[in-house]
């Protein structure tokens, strides 16, 4: 039995492609010897040219803006973005090379449709059943250098799912899905080159990679969905999204909360600035239903007593108490506390009050860190001030030291519904410049 092998070669003789050209006819003329099972690799630049995706653009940045759906990461002028085709790549795939000065090339509007059209055209011209890939050049996270990948596909099994099988030693394969289309694209790039003027290549000898019908999912099937993308944002963008995307959640699912995620959020909280090199934050984690119920029941009794002392009606009291359901319905509670160890005493009421305010501000900064870190863990939260109104009760139920001041309670869990949009705020309304 001979060892597996395949051939790959570049197709010479293609003319300069212009808008309106029939790529299938040009390829069939340059490479009439195509056979069933071949895979034809077509550089996206000539597809874009044939489809008229050339744009007059003295300002390439404006063209990138127009093609961008979401900024993933930014460093200086370099942007990694998600473009209209759902691809995450540098500059949205807008290319100013191999095109006349003052113009840019946009990616094909629908690369899978482009690949299908070329495949159909080759079948009509030559009577062959081939696979077609539209390829483009990508950088990759954690790796230096560029390679070609498939952005459009027709008649190619783009992914080879080996899950459920075994390796040579009989070990089960549980996570192995091979990006066959990208491997083919990279093989073709070795013979096409970046500056050789050879935009088409052919791979022969891998007929198992060619298929149609229900298997013809297109290259779109290779784009990882947001729910499975662990690296959806760059560092600064992830921080910004966690800050601006955080909302107060008032309805939670019953899904359990990972205690490790809460502890990672506490680790972020205690990096906040604090006066005199102190550490004024303490976080009491109520992980058992019993602890949460005992605390909330005691707080409710105190609250009802206070409202009755204020002369509120029983109907009004019941309505107000129901507002505490946010804490009661959450699967996890955290009580952040202020500890003023290390505070200076001046013997002057004004200065002593300012000293305490510094510690309160530092605690608030720590709690904000905590809330943002929870958002980064994809956990919803609601910071409720109720424990501040019955600190003695909270300390008694939880067995806290007298110098721990509860600063509200944070409900934590998975949001049961999308939070309401935050009303727009004009930044200029919050700024004074001197």
**pLDDT tens-digit series, residues 8-54:** 999 999 999 999 999 999 999 999 999 999 999 999 999 999 999 99
Paired sense of beta strands 143-154 and 131-140, if any: antiparallel
pLDDT of residue 361: 96
Q: Residue 340 half-sphere exposure, CB side, CA atoms within 13 Å?
A: 18
**Which of 36, 87, 93 is CA-nearest to residue 64?**
93
Q: Tokens 């000293």 label which residue?
A: 355
Contact at 8 Å (CB) between 131 and 38? Answer: yes
Q: What is the mean pLDDT of the chain?
A: 90
Strand partners, 255: none
Pick the CATH number of 235-430 from 3.40.109.10, 3.40.50.2300, 1.10.10.10, 3.20.20.140: 3.40.109.10
Q: Where does the pLDDT of residue 197 fall: very low under 50, low under 70, confident under 90, or very high at 90 and above? A: confident
Cα separation of 328 and 432, whole Å? 41
pLDDT of residue 194: 67
Residue 212 has pLDDT above 80, yes or no: no
Residue 1 has pLDDT above 70, yes or no: no
pLDDT of residue 241: 76
pLDDT of residue 377: 86
Q: Which positions ≥6 away from 32 have C-beta within 8 Å?
A: 126
* Token duo for residue 279: 């550490």
Question: In this prediction, what percent of the chain has a pLDDT beyond 90?
Answer: 61
pLDDT of residue 275: 94
For residues 304-332, give the mean pLDDT: 87
pLDDT of residue 322: 80
Q: Where does the pLDDT of residue 351 fall: very low under 50, low under 70, confident under 90, or very high at 90 and above? A: very high
Q: Would you say the C-alpha torsion 129, 134, 138, 141 has a positive or negative sign? A: negative
pLDDT of residue 215: 53
CA-to-CA separations, 219 to 150, 181, 277, 296, 390, in angstroms, rounded: 6, 8, 55, 53, 59
Instruction: Write down the CATH number for the domain with range 7-53+108-228.
Output: 3.30.1330.100
Higher local confidence (pLDDT), 161 or 105: 105
Higher local confidence (pLDDT), 376 or 235: 376
Range(s) for CATH 3.40.109.10 in the chain? 235-430
In this structure, what are the phi and psi dihedrals at residue 173, rounded to the nearest 5 degrees?
A: -100, 115
For residue 93, how far is the Cα from the chain centroid? 19
pLDDT of residue 213: 58
Residue 175 has pLDDT above 70, yes or no: no
* Token duo for residue 342: 């290390």
Paired sense of beta strands 39-43 and 131-140, if any: parallel
For residues 272-280, give the mean pLDDT: 95
Number of neighbouring beta carbons within 10 Å of residue 208 = 10
Residue 400 has pLDDT above 90, yes or no: yes
**Which of 359, 356, 345 is CA-nearest to residue 274?**
359
Cα separation of 28 and 126, whole Å? 7
pLDDT of residue 422: 81
Secondary structure of the chain as H, E, C letters: CCCCCCEEEECCCCCCCCCCCCHHHHHHHHCCCCCCCCEEEEEHHHHHHHCCCEEECCCHHHHHHHHEEEEEEEECCEEEEEECCCCEEEHHHCECCCCCCCEEECCCCCHHHHHHHHHHHHHHHHCCCCEEEEEEEEEECCEEEEEEEEEEEECECCCEECCCCECCCCCECCCCEECHHHHHHHHHHHHHCCCCCCCEEEEECCHHHECCHHHCCCHHHHCCCHHHCCCCCCHHHHHHHHHHHCCECCCECCCCCCHHHHHHHHHHHCCCCCHHHCCCEEEEEECCHHHHHHHHHHHHHHHHHHHHHCCCCHHHHHHHHHCCHHHHCCCEEEEEEEECCCCCCCCCHHHHHHHHHHHHHHHHHHHHHHHHHHHHCCCEEEEECHHHHCHHHHHHHHCCCCCEEECCEEEEECECCCCCCCCCCCHHHHCCCC
Number of neighbouring beta carbons within 10 Å of residue 215 = 12
For residues 263-267, give the mean pLDDT: 96
Q: Would you say the C-alpha torsion 349, 351, 280, 269 has a positive or negative sign? A: positive
**pLDDT tens-digit series, residues 93-106:** 898 877 888 888 99
Range(s) for CATH 3.30.1330.100 in the chain? 7-53+108-228
* Token duo for residue 275: 């006066």
Q: Where does the pLDDT of residue 58 fall: very low under 50, low under 70, confident under 90, or very high at 90 and above? A: confident
**pLDDT tens-digit series, residues 279-297:** 999 999 999 999 999 999 9
Least confident range of 141-145, 279-283, 365-369: 141-145
> What is the length of the chain?
434
Instruction: Give the gyration radius of the chain's Cα atoms.
Output: 31
């Amino acid at each position: 039995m001979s060892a597996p092998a395949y051939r790959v070669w570049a197709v010479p003789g293609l003319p300069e492609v212009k808008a309106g050209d029939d790529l299938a006819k040009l390829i069939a003329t340059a490479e009439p010897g195509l056979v069933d099972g071949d895979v034809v690799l077509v550089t996206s630049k000539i597809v874009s040219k044939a489809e008229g995706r050339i744009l007059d653009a003295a300002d390439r940045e404006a063209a990138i803006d127009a093609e961008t759906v979401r900024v993933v990461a930014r460093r200086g002028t370099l942007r990694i973005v998600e473009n209209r085709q759902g691809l995450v790549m540098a500059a949205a795939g807008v290319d100013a090379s191999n095109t006349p000065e003052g113009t840019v090339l946009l990616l094909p509007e629908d690369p899978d449709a482009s690949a299908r059209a070329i495949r159909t055209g080759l079948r009509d011209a030559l009577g062959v059943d081939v696979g077609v890939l539209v390829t483009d050049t990508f950088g990759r996270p954690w790796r230096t250098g560029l390679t070609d990948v498939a952005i459009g596909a027709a008649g190619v099994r783009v992914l080879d799912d080996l899950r459920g099988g075994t390796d040579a030693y009989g070990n089960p394969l549980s996570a192995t899905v091979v990006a066959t289309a990208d491997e083919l694209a990279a093989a073709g790039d070795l013979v096409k080159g970046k500056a050789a003027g050879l935009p088409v290549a052919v791979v022969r000898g891998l007929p198992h990679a060619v298929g149609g019908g229900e298997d013809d999912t297109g290259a779109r099937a290779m784009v990882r969905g947001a729910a499975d993308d662990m690296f959806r944002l760059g560092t600064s963008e992830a921080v910004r999204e966690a800050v601006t995307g955080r909302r107060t959640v008032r309805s939670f699912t019953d899904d359990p909360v990972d205690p490790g995620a809460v502890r990672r959020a506490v680790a972020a909280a205690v990096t906040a600035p604090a006066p005199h090199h102190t550490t004024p934050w303490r976080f009491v984690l109520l992980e058992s239903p019993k602890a949460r119920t005992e605390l909330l029941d005691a707080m409710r009794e105190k609250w009802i007593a206070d409202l009755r002392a204020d002369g509120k009606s029983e109907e009004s009291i019941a309505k107000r108490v129901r507002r505490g359901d946010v804490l009661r319905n959450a699967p996890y509670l955290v009580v952040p506390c202020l500890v003023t160890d290390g505070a200076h005493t001046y013997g002057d009421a004004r200065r002593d009050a300012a000293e305490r305010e510094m510690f309160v501000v530092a605690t608030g900064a720590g709690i904000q860190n905590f809330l943002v870190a929870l958002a980064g863990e994809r956990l919803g939260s609601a910071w409720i001030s109720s424990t501040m109104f019955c600190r003695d009760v909270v300390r008694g139920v939880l067995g806290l030291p007298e110098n721990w001041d509860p600063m509200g309670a944070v409900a934590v869990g998975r949001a049961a519904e999308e939070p309401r949009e935050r009303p727009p705020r004009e930044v200029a309304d919050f700024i004074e410049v001197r």
